[in-house]
Copies of this chain bind each other. A is one copy, B any other.
Amino acid sequence: MTIDPPAATPRHRTPPEHAVLDEVTLEAALAALADPVRLTLIREVASAQEWERSCGSFDVPVRKAALSHHFAVLRAAGLIEQRDAGPRRFNRLRRAEFDARFPGLLDAVLRAQAAELQKV
Binding site for B on A (CB under 8 A): 25-27, 29-31, 33-36, 39, 101-105, 107-109, 111-113, 116
Contact = CB atoms under 8 A, between A and B. Distances in A.
Contact of A116 (B26, B34, B35, B116): B26
Nearest to A107: B104
A35 B26 CA distance: 9
Main secondary structure of the interface of A (DSSP, over half): helix
Contact of A109 (B31, B101, B105, B111): B105
A29 to B, nearest CB: 8
Contact of A102 (B25, B29, B108): B108
A116 B25 contact: yes
13 contacts: A25-B116, A26-B109, A26-B112, A26-B113, A26-B116, A27-B34, A27-B35, A27-B36, A27-B39, A33-B34, A101-B112, A104-B111, A105-B105
